[in-house]
């Protein structure tokens, strides 16, 4: 199909594309079609002037825009018809009574021009096969002989006006080549808009794929089930969001304990140069750990007070009419859980200190 001339849509120049696809070459430009349109406008103006240049109809005609062309590139059927007359071609309305009385089978014609509102396109026979040369398609569309009549009937049902092109079309390479061979079309051409949307989707998918590959250090090893990967990432984000102030409190206490243990050597009175008995050393160490326990108790109490104050502020905010109310039962449950966690932490600290005391007593006895 590479030999078939097919102009694709540019702006609103479908009339130009329709004519050139029909004649199989760049026969007409917007400038030439505009010249024909201006000529038709002048002929219409002269006819209107015959009734008097001072008449109301004439003044109204001058104020109206051209009916043969507009700034978007649209051209009327009169412009197309006059352009084809240059090549000795004539247009006949397909469903007119005069043509229908002839009872001509569509496959015995050579070409059709189809129009709906402001769009024009050509259906032409090249060699022994029919092709839809619509400029909105990405390429020529093969139409079988058996489907041609149904295709035209479907266009009429959709509101299209169909014109039969009468006369000898100029010779073209595609017609000569397809007289000797028949082509087959494995894939139907798409509308240009659909192709652009598909290409855009492919580019977006490619970008996402490259981003994933970069995140995997370019290894290219991707999870076979992408949906499972996305769900796992979502769950991971949820777990991160579910970290609350209790986790922060536990981490703070742990850091406090670690900091205290690292500074034991600094806080315990130095014994170098002093001869202490085992009993005196044990008592000094017990006094130090008692001080650590009291410090932790004070820290936990401060955290309780801060948490209660924050929950009181939140309770006051929930009374705003735009805020979602919080259940008092749920709030009480959260406080109970928070207290249990802190009590458990304090118990763990106490047990740890008792273990240290026990070890020191054992060491003292030895």
Catalytically active residues are: 14, 119, 134
Q: Do 121 and 16 contact (CB within 8 A), yes or no?
A: no
Distance CA 28, CA 81 (A): 13
SS3 assignment, position 115: strand
Q: Do 269 and 284 contact (CB within 8 A), yes or no?
A: yes
H or E element in which residue 93 lies:
strand 90-93
> Concatenated DSSP letters for 200-211?
HHHHHHHHHHHH
H helices present in the chain, as ranges = 14-23, 30-49, 56-63, 77-85, 97-100, 145-157, 173-178, 192-215, 226-241, 245-262, 264-267, 278-317, 328-365
Distance CA 160, CA 119 (A): 9
Distance CA 338, CA 216 (A): 40
């Amino acid at each position: 199909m590479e030999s078939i001339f097919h102009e694709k849509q540019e702006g609103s120049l479908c009339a130009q594309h329709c004519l050139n696809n029909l004649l199989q070459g760049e026969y007409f430009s917007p400038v030439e079609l505009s010249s024909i349109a201006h000529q038709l406008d002048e002929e219409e103006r002269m006819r209107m002037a015959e009734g008097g240049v001072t008449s109301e109809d004439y003044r109204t005609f001058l104020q109206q825009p051209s009916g043969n062309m507009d700034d978007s590139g649209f051209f009327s059927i009169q412009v197309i018809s006059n352009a084809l007359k240059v090549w000795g071609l004539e247009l006949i309305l397909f469903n007119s009574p005069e043509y229908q009385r002839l009872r001509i089978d569509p496959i015995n014609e050579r070409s059709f021009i189809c129009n709906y509102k402001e769009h024009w396109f050509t259906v032409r026979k090249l060699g022994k096969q029919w092709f839809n040369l619509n400029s909105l398609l990405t390429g020529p569309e093969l139409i079988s002989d058996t489907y041609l009549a149904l295709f035209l009937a479907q266009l009429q049902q959709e509101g299209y006006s169909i014109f039969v092109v009468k006369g000898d079309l100029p010779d073209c390479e595609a017609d000569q080549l397809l007289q000797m061979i028949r082509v087959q079309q494995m894939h139907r051409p798409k509308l240009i808009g659909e192709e652009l949307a598909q290409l855009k989707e492919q580019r977006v998918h490619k970008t996402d794929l490259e981003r994933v590959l970069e995140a995997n250090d370019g290894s290219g090893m991707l999870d076979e089930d992408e949906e499972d990967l996305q769900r796992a990432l979502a769950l991971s984000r949820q777990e991160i969001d579910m970290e609350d102030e209790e986790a922060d409190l536990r981490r703070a206490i742990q850091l406090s304990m670690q900091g205290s243990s690292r500074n034991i050597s600094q806080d315990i009175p130095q014994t170098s140069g002093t001869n202490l008995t085992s009993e005196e050393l044990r008592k000094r160490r017990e006094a130090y750990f008692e001080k650590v326990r009291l410090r932790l108790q004070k820290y936990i109490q401060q955290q309780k007070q801060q948490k209660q104050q924050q929950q009181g502020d939140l309770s006051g905010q929930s009374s705003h009419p735009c805020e979602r109310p919080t259940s008092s039962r749920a709030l009480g449950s959260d406080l109970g859980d928070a207290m249990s966690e802190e009590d458990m932490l304090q118990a763990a600290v106490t047990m740890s200190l008792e273990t240290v005391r026990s070890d020191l007593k054992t060491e003292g006895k030895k």
